[in-house]
């Protein structure tokens, strides 16, 4: 029985890892061997990596990705937690509207927003700025944040708040000393999911930026032309692809349980 | 007497009133940002679509009503992109559903290395789409790519329409199946173990248990997964941009709109396409929700 | 320690349903009062109103003479023990118990002393540094109690604190709660649906049904002198037997024969109008094996075959089924529903509590004697007890 599952697991591993290993392998290939088409590098080199880090655009792109990602995530979590708590715990007019609207945004085709934002941001001077990307990122991260966090809040038993009230706590004390500590793991998970969403974005990044002032890493990669016009950018692109994938892999490795719990709304806890 | 009752009525809702105030205050920032960033731009987009507006000829802006729509809807490029998008959507979602279900079962029930399997499956989910796309591109590039070199010599699949679309579909499926699997796994987890045991006692084989107990109970989860993945698939952009950039008529609607907007700087046509895409997405969502009565999260399913 | 007064307290919801209707009760200082009744009777709602967790629609709630309707829970100086215990999962037992004291900003040394004292009283010393997740049900229950007693509040409110424990543990905890309350002397209001708990724990019992108080009194009082059909059927286990009966000159014609009119019944018929059709109530212990009863004079007998016999060791319970021709009363049907029993229409079941030495056998006919002086008469329409003044 176990052997059968082990075999199936192996298939899954191959499915998930082979394409990833291919890019990694490409990134270590000596540029002269690019056209040999073998899976494993016949000649190894670090040159591709050192190359991209010497590239101002790329390092700038990384900084942009990190900065914009962190700020967007922070704001999305802040606003999202507040809204999620309200949605999970309180009754108020417009609750259905809020939930419905987040659903709408989750289903929204980004290209439809790129078109007007392109023009509007140029008018407002937000084009090619961090803020110009942060605003749409927050907007698109909010539905996910609110949904995931309200699921986490609903896991916290209602009676704990009642007990805190009886024990003499003000609503704020109840929140800070009872609710917040219990919600903290959920917030961490949601932050990771939101960050992945922002980090991953491509369409907004290529449409709303024009230089390395605000261009994020994925977009930067697509503009790679290699160190000279004649050089094949394959190596640089592969190396860059690995670099921007690495943080995500690390997150996933450390937080797998939490992420799975978050994405399955707590149904699967590991 | 009635005056006292009135006071009691006003006082009793004090608690409720402060709850409502708190709710509004807490949800306001999120609501404001979402509405501000999408509300006006959508309206603006619609307005732009009613103009002839080309940034290369800024003095030529003129209101032309629904002419843009006429142009786009009569254009073979648009319809090409539309059907390609539909094809990609239908095929990838169908395959993802089956594959995702199998994967969900593995992730949920495997006796060996559960943690490892789940971790590894999150990598396609988390990986930057563009990064993976470049991987596929190089894999299929003749000479460079290990996959390309498995094919008969001289074939460059990315330069031919059919094979290129197939490759795009494979790339899409590879990337998003894990997400589908996670949504389905949530649905799996909800099926009570006791029901399966009862079915076992009633004489049901494993296949029968799955088809007659598990699947029906998973219906809401499946529908939600289908709805979101379908809408997601329709918006496909990253993979196509990297793999073919729409060459050989492999554009999706998003790619075409992008080309017109950023490439051609034609705000009028680009906006028109955006609005049409938005309308299509709305129709798809509507059909889903109506036809299947999908209990979307946030509905009364909560 | 405080006196709690509920003056016409009513809870009405915006959709019109009345959960609690004009609740009048004066709870004395140090008293242990139980609110008992079937689910939905309003007992928990009443408790929540005393706590301040629910608004009072009409009426006044006074603690120590002062009106507290508008006061928040934290300002009422009362503590509550929840059915699910509501222990803070991220805090240790010590931190859980200390929480209310921390909020009240007491000095650390004082907090430590009080926590130790409470832990001592409740035998929690060995568990002080563990988390709720690692405790058994009984231990968690005691931590919940600890959190309540540590503040020395004016009153304790307990919402079915023993429901989540298994039967044996429940019996153990009952006595320790009783001892604790007597020890501390704190006014306590306790909600339960279990009449055994009510009978054993309370100084006074308040029986509720559909938002209305049915009767208030000491346990024995409620047992001996139930005010209506509902109270009679609710208190006592196994519950009172009810038989439809026709009043006639010779006695009460029932399915077990004609019951001679005892003193109580005669007094009732003399002092008030007794309808032609009544419901007779007889507790299981009013029956006896005729062979062992001799002939005390004030009773009657009937013979029937024993349907089911339950040997409890200290007694035997014999179940008889009678065909019943008379129409069932609305009240009887409701009482059956409240008790969760599904009545088979047209059939009445009698439970007789017999001496363990009785020779009763299942399936065999038996002659049963019953005490006609122990008969209660109930009005089939209003349910009120006609034999009680």
- The parts of chain B modelled with pLDDT lower than 50 are 1-12, 294-302
Give B-chain residues touching A127 at CB under 8 angstroms.
none
Q: Say if residue C1's pLDDT is above 70.
A: no
Unique residue bearing structure tokens 């212990």? C285
pLDDT band at C340 (very low <50, low <70, confident <90, very high): very low
Chain C partners (3+ C-beta pairs within 8 A): A, B
Q: Say if residue C50's pLDDT is above 80.
A: yes
Phi, psi of A98 (to 5 degrees): -60, -50
A228 CB-near residues (< 8 Å, 6+ apart): none
Give A-chain residues touching B116 at CB under 8 angstroms.
9, 13
Chain A partners (3+ C-beta pairs within 8 A): B, C
Nearest to B123 among A20, A38, A202 (CB): A20
Q: Say if residue C255's pLDDT is above 80.
A: no
Phi, psi of C104 (to 5 degrees): -80, 5
Is B112's CB within 8 Å of A98's CB?
no
Instruction: Give me the pLDDT at residue C330, please.
Output: 60
Is B278's CB within 8 Å of A109's CB?
yes
Tell me the Ramachandran region of residue C180: left when phi exceeds 0, alpha when psi lies from -120 to 50, beta otherwise.
Answer: alpha
Q: Say if residue C377's pLDDT is above 90.
A: no
Least confident of A108-112, B17-21, B210-214, C10-14: B17-21
CA–CA separation, C26 and C62 (whole Å): 9
Interface of A with C in 131-190 (CB under 8 A): 157, 159-160, 162-170, 173, 177-178, 181-182
Residue A228, token pair as written in the block: 């000279």
Smallest CA–CA separation between C61 and chain B, in Å?
13
Is B41's CB within 8 Å of A138's CB?
no
In chain C, % of residues over pLDDT 70: 93
B125 CB-near residues (< 8 Å, 6+ apart): B175, B176, B178, B179, B182
Is C100's CB within 8 Å of A159's CB?
no
Unique residue bearing structure tokens 């030495």? C357
B104, B109, B113, B119: CA torsion to nearest 10: 30
Contact A264, B185 (CB under 8 A): yes
Instruction: Give residue-wise pLDDT tens across range A207-259.
Output: 898 888 888 888 888 887 655 555 677 888 888 889 998 888 888 888 888 88
Instruction: Tell me which of C266 and C348 has the higher pLDDT.
Output: C266
Smallest CA–CA separation between B270 and chain A, in Å?
7
Mean pLDDT of the A179-198 span: 88
- What is the average pLDDT value for chain A, to the nearest integer? 85
Contact B64, B52 (CB under 8 A): yes
C57 touches chain B (CB under 8 A): yes
- pTM of full prediction above 0.80: no
B243 to chain A: closest CA residue: A222
Nearest to A256 among B35, B42, B119 (CB): B119
Contact C264, C272 (CB under 8 A): no
Q: Say if residue C322's pLDDT is above 90.
A: no
Nearest to A182 among C51, C73, C89 (CB): C89
Mean pLDDT of the C207-236 span: 91
Give B-chain residues touching C57 at CB under 8 angstroms.
8, 12
Contact A53, A37 (CB under 8 A): no
Give B-chain residues touching C55 at CB under 8 angstroms.
11-13, 15
Instruction: Give me the pLDDT at residue B93, please.
Output: 94
Q: How many residues are given for chain B? A: 302
Instruction: Give residue-wise pLDDT tens across range A64-97.
Output: 999 999 999 999 999 999 899 888 888 788 888 8
Instruction: Give me the pLDDT at residue C334, please.
Output: 61
Around B154, how many Cα atoms within 13 Å sit in the side-chain half-sphere?
0
CA–CA separation, B3 and C93 (whole Å): 48
Mean pLDDT of the A164-176 span: 83
How large is the ipTM? Answer: 0.85
SS3 annotation, chain C: CCCEEEEEEEEECCCCCEEEEEEEEEECCCCEEEEECCCCCCHHHHHHHHHCCCCCCEEEEEECCEECCCCCHHHCCEEEECCCCCCCCCCCHHHHHHHHHHHCCCCHHHHHHHHHHHHHHCCCHHHCCCCHHHCCHHHHHHHHHHHHHCCCCCEEEEECCCCCCCHHHHHHHHHHHHHHHHHHCCEEEEEECCHHHHHHHCCEEEEEECCEEEEEECHHHHHHCCCEHHHHHHCCCCCCEEEEEEEECCEEEECCEEECCCHHHHHHHHHCCCCCEEEEEECHHHEEEHHHHCCCCCEEEEEEECCEEEECCCCEEEEEEEECCCCCCHHHHHHHHHHCCCCCCCEEEEEEEECCCCCCCCCCEEEEEEEHHHCEEECCCCCEECCCC
For residue C254, the cross-strand partners are: C257
Query: How many Å separate Cα B143 from the centre of its chain?
Result: 34
CB pairs < 8 Å spanning B and C: 13
Mean pLDDT of the C289-304 span: 79
Q: Per mean pLDDT, which of A40-49, A144-153, B181-190, C209-218 is the most reliable? A: C209-218
For residue C60, the cross-strand partners are: C7
Instruction: Give residue-wise pLDDT tens across range B54-102.
Output: 777 777 777 877 888 888 888 888 898 999 999 999 999 999 999 999 9
Contact A263, B228 (CB under 8 A): no
- What is the average pLDDT value for chain C, to the nearest integer? 86
Chain B partners (3+ C-beta pairs within 8 A): A, C
Of the residues B2, B5, B6, B8, the best mutation for testing chain C's interface (the one with the most C CB atoms within 10 Å of its CB) is B8
pLDDT band at C24 (very low <50, low <70, confident <90, very high): very high
Mean pLDDT of the C210-230 span: 92
Contact A57, A220 (CB under 8 A): yes
pLDDT band at C126 (very low <50, low <70, confident <90, very high): very high
Smallest CA–CA separation between B213 and chain A, in Å?
18
């Amino acid at each position: 029985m176990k052997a059968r599952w082990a075999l199936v697991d192996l298939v899954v591993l191959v499915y998930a890892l082979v394409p990833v290993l291919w890019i990694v392998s490409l990134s270590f290939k000596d540029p002269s061997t690019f056209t040999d088409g073998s899976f494993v590098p016949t000649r190894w080199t670090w040159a591709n990596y050192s190359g991209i880090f010497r590239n101002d655009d790329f390092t700038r792109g990384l900084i942009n990705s990190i900065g914009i990602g962190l700020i967007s995530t922070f704001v999305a979590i802040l606003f999202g937690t507040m809204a999620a708590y309200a949605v999970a715990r309180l009754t108020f007019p417009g609750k259905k509207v809020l939930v419905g609207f987040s659903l709408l945004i989750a289903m929204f085709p980004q290209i439809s927003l790129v078109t007007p934002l392109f023009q509007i941001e140029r008018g407002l001077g937000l084009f090619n700025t961090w803020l110009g990307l942060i605003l749409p990122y927050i907007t698109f991260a909010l539905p996910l944040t609110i949904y995931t966090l309200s699921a986490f809040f609903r896991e916290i038993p209602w009676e704990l708040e009642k007990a805190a009230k009886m024990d003499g706590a003000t609503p704020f004390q109840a929140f800070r000393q009872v609710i917040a500590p219990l919600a903290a793991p959920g917030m961490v998970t949601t932050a990771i999911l939101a960050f992945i969403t922002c980090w991953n974005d491509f369409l907004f990044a290529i449409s709303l930026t024009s230089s390395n002032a605000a261009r994020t890493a994925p977009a930067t990669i697509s503009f790679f032309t290699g160190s000279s016009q004649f050089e094949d950018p394959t190596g640089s692109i592969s190396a860059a692809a690995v670099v921007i994938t690495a943080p995500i892999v690390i997150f996933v490795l450390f937080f797998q349980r939490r992420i799975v719990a978050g994405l399955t709304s707590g149904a699967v806890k590991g | 007497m009635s005056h006292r009752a009135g006071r009691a009525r006003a006082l009793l809702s004090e608690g409720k009133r402060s709850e409502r105030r708190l709710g509004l205050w807490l949800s306001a920032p999120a609501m404001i940002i979402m509405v501000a960033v999408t509300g006006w731009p959508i309206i603006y987009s619609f307005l732009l679509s009613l103009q002839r507006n080309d940034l290369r000829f800024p003095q030529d802006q003129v209101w032309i009503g629904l002419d843009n729509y006429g142009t786009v809807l009569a254009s073979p490029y648009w319809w090409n992109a539309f059907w390609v998008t539909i094809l990609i959507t239908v095929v990838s979602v169908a395959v993802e559903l089956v594959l995702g279900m199998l994967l969900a079962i593995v992730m949920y029930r495997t006796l060996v290395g559960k943690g490892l399997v789940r971790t590894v499956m999150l990598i396609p989910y988390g990986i930057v789409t563009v990064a993976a796309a470049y991987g596929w591109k190089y894999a299929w590039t003749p000479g460079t790519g290990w996959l390309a070199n498995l094919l008969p010599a001289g074939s460059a699949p990315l330069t031919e329409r059919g094979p290129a679309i197939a490759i795009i579909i494979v790339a899409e499926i590879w990337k998003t199946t894990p997400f589908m699997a996670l949504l389905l796994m949530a649905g799996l987890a909800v099926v009570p173990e006791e029901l399966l045991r009862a079915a076992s006692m009633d004489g049901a084989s494993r296949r029968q248990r799955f088809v007659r107990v598990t699947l029906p109970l998973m219906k809401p989860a499946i529908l939600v997964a289908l709805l979101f993945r379908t809408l997601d698939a329709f918006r496909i952009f990253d993979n196509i941009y990297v793999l073919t950039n729409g060459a050989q008529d492999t554009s999706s609607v998003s790619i075409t709109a992008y080309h017109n907007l950023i490439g051609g700087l034609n705000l009028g046509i680009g906006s028109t396409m955006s609005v049409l895409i938005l309308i299509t997405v709305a129709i798809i969502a509507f059909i889903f929700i109506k036809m299947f009565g999908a209990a979307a999260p946030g509905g009364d399913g909560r | 320690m405080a006196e709690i007064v509920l003056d016409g307290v009513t809870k009405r919801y915006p959709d019109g349903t009345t959960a609690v209707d004009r609740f009048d009760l004066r709870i004395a200082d140090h008293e242990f009062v139980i609110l008992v009744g079937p689910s939905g009777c309003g007992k928990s709602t009443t408790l929540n109103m005393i706590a301040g967790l629910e608004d009072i629609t009409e009426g006044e709630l006074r603690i120590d003479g002062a009106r507290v309707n508008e006061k928040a829970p934290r300002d009422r100086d009362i503590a509550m023990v929840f059915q699910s215990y509501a222990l803070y999962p991220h805090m240790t037992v010590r931190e859980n118990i200390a929480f209310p004291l921390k909020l009240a900003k007491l000095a650390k040394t004082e907090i430590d002393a009080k926590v130790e004292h409470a832990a001592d009283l409740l035998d929690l010393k060995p568990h002080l540094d563990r988390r709720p997740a690692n405790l058994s049900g009984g231990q968690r229950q005691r931590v919940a109690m600890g959190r309540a007693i540590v503040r020395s509040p004016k009153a304790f409110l307990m919402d079915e604190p023993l429901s989540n424990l298994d039967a044996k543990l429940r019996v153990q905890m009952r006595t320790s709660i009783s001892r604790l309350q007597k020890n501390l002397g704190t006014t306590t209001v306790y909600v339960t649906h279990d009449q055994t708990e009510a009978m054993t724990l309370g100084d006074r019992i308040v029986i509720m049904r559909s938002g209305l108080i049915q009767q208030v009194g000491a346990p024995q009082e409620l047992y001996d002198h139930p005010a209506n059909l509902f109270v009679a059927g609710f208190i006592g286990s196994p519950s009172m037997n009810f038989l439809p009966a026709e009043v006639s000159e010779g006695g009460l014609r029932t399915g077990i024969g004609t019951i001679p009119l005892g003193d109580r019944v005669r007094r009732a018929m003399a002092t008030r109008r007794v309808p032609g059709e009544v419901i007779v109530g007889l507790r299981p212990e009013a029956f006896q094996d005729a062979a062992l009863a001799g002939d005390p004079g004030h009773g009657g007998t009937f013979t029937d075959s024993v349907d089911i016999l339950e040997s409890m060791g200290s007694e035997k319970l014999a179940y008889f089924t009678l065909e019943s021709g008379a129409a069932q009363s609305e009240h009887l049907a409701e009482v059956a529903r409240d008790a969760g029993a599904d009545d088979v229409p047209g059939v009445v079941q009698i439970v007789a509590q017999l001496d363990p030495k009785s020779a009763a056998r299942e399936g065999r006919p038996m002659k049963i004697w019953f005490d006609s002086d122990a008969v209660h008469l109930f009005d089939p329409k209003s349910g009120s007890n006609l034999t009680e003044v």
